């Protein structure tokens, strides 16, 4: 178990949160222009890195809000927490250390 | 149409209705505050028109600092999220408040939903109230974090709850969904046993903290 620092509520136990998938995935501007392979990549393919991971979490038993987290999947250490879509997270996705 | 009987979700817990004649020096006191008005208010914290319309009804704006509640005109307005507040009033005042809110918010982007039948309120007080909460909660309820005016949604013994601090460190209030109320009451009775438990007869009046509405508290965790 670990704590997550909700951008609204401050540090709370993980049991109050739900994981909400990889962060930073943009919906394609024009989905109908994509090949099946590109669409499948958007829908299904995820980084699943060993190391630094850009994630979304939801404070489901607190304020109910979705937010962005950068977390080390090896050590569980959370590097940063922010409101969705902040530029601070732009380079975080999928980098393996 | 036949009339629907108003029943507390603690109907199967006779002591919740009548009290248990427990010792006056008990470490924990429980009381159900039944049939209060619970109104869910939705709107945006950054919408000046919404906040102003609310202020005209409440005499005070809904608090925008996370995890704080305000009191105005005999009602409680608790922050649940940046677009969500729980508004609690005495049961007789519920219908009038609903009408007043719907009228005041008719022309702004807002939602008003009556949740009164869906949840109930349990008062938890005493020198060991904090110890009881500590058995089932991961919240940091130390007075330096959770002082007067603090409120939050969280989990208690795996049940969702809305917790309010009425008096720092020893007087709390739990709002619980109807379907979890009987379970949570039994859990509270069990968890309180070792400290000596007094159960008061159910009340239908809102517990107010007497917060200074002119000086809303800063966010506890900021
Ligand atoms: Zn939160």
pLDDT for B173 equals 97
What's the ipTM?
0.89
Residues A61, B139: C-beta atoms closer than 8 Å: no
CB A42 within 8 A of CB A34: yes
CB B207 within 8 A of CB B32: no
Residues A12, B82: C-beta atoms closer than 8 Å: no
pTM for the full predicted model: 0.90
Q: Domain segments of chain B: what residues? A: 14-35+117-199, 37-116
Distance of CA B36 to the CA centre of its chain: 10
Say if residue B105's pLDDT is above 60.
yes
pLDDT for B97 equals 92
Domain B37-116, CATH 3.30.70.1520 — does that match? yes
Q: Which of A11, A15, A62 sits opposite B152 (nearest CB)?
A: A62
Say if residue B216's pLDDT is above 80.
no
User: Which pLDDT band holds residue B152 (cuts at 50, 70, 90)?
Assistant: very high
Percent of chain B with pLDDT over 70: 95
Residues of chain A with pLDDT under 70: 85-97
Which residues of chain B neighbour A63 with C-beta distances below 8 Å? 66, 80-82, 84, 153
Helices (H) and strands (E) in chain A — how many of each?
1, 6
Task: Specify the range with the lowest mean pLDDT, choosing from A77-86, B90-99, B137-146, B171-180.
Answer: A77-86
Search chain A and give the residue with CA nearest B79: A63
- What stretches of chain B show up as alpha helix (H) in DSSP? 14-18, 48-58, 94-104, 129-136, 178-192
Q: pLDDT tens-digit profile of B13-46? A: 999 999 999 999 999 999 999 999 999 999 999 9
pLDDT for A93 equals 46
Residues A15, B66: C-beta atoms closer than 8 Å: no
Say if residue B221's pLDDT is above 50.
no
Q: How do B171-177 and B119-125 pair as beta strands?
A: antiparallel
Residue A30: half-sphere exposure toward Cβ, Cα within 13 Å: 3
A45 touches chain B (CB under 8 A): no
A12 touches chain B (CB under 8 A): yes
- How many whole angstroms separate alpha carbon A26 and alpha carbon A71? 19
Say if residue B72's pLDDT is above 70.
yes
Which residues of chain B neighbour A17 with C-beta distances below 8 Å? none
User: Which pLDDT band holds residue B169 (cuts at 50, 70, 90)?
Assistant: very high
Domain B14-35+117-199, CATH 3.40.50.150 — does that match? no
Which residues of chain A neighbour B66 with C-beta distances below 8 Å? 8-10, 63
Mutation test of the interface with chain A: which of B139, B158, B176, choosing the one with the most A Cβ atoms within 10 A?
Answer: B139
CATH hierarchy code of domain A3-82: 3.30.2270.10
- How many whole angstroms separate alpha carbon B141 and alpha carbon B121? 19
Residue B130: half-sphere exposure toward Cβ, Cα within 13 Å: 13
Q: Domain segments of chain A: what residues? A: 3-82
Of B132, B121, B134, which Cα lies nearest the Cα of B197? B132
pLDDT for B205 equals 87
* B129-138: Cβ within 8 A, 24+ apart: B129/B28, B129/B29, B129/B170, B129/B171, B129/B172, B130/B169, B130/B170, B131/B27, B131/B195, B132/B28, B132/B188, B132/B191, B132/B192, B132/B195, B133/B163, B133/B172, B135/B191, B136/B187, B136/B191, B137/B163, B138/A12, B138/A13, B138/A15, B138/A16
Window 57-76 of A: residues touching B by CB (8 A cutoff) are 61-65
């Amino acid at each position: 178990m670990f704590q997550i620092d909700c951008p609204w509520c401050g540090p709370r136990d993980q049991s109050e949160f739900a994981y909400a998938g990889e962060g930073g995935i943009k919906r394609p501007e024009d989905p109908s222009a994509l090949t099946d392979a590109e669409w499948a990549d958007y829908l299904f393919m995820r980084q699943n890195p060993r190391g630094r991971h850009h994630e979304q979490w939801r404070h489901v038993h607190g304020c109910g809000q979705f937010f962005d987290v950068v977390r080390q999947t090896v050590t569980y250490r959370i590097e940063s927490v922010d409101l969705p879509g902040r530029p601070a997270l732009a380079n975080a996705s999928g980098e393996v250390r | 149409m036949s009339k629907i009987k108003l029943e507390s979700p603690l109907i199967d817990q006779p002591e919740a209705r009548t009290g248990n004649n427990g010792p006056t020096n008990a470490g924990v006191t429980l009381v159900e505050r039944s049939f209060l008005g619970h109104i869910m208010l939705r709107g945006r914290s950054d919408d000046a028109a919404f906040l102003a319309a609310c202020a005209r009804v409440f005499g005070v704006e809904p608090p925008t600092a996370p995890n704080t509640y305000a009191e105005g005109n005999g009602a409680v307005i608790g922050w649940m999220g940046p677009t969500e507040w729980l508004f609690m009033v005495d049961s007789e005042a519920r219908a009038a408040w609903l009408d007043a809110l719907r009228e005041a918010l008719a022309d702004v982007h807002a939602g008003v939903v009556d949740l009164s039948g869906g949840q109930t309120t349990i008062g938890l007080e005493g020198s060991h109230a904090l110890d009881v909460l500590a058995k089932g909660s991961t919240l940091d309820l130390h007075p330096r974090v959770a002082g007067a005016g603090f409120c939050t949604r969280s989990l208690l013994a795996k049940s969702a709850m809305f917790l309010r601090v009425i008096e720092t460190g020893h007087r709390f209030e739990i709002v619980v969904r109807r379907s979890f109320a009987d379970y949570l009451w039994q859990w509270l009775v069990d968890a309180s046993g070792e400290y000596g438990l007094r159960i008061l007869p159910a009340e239908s009046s809102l517990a107010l903290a007497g917060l200074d509405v002119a000086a809303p508290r800063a966010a506890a965790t900021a």
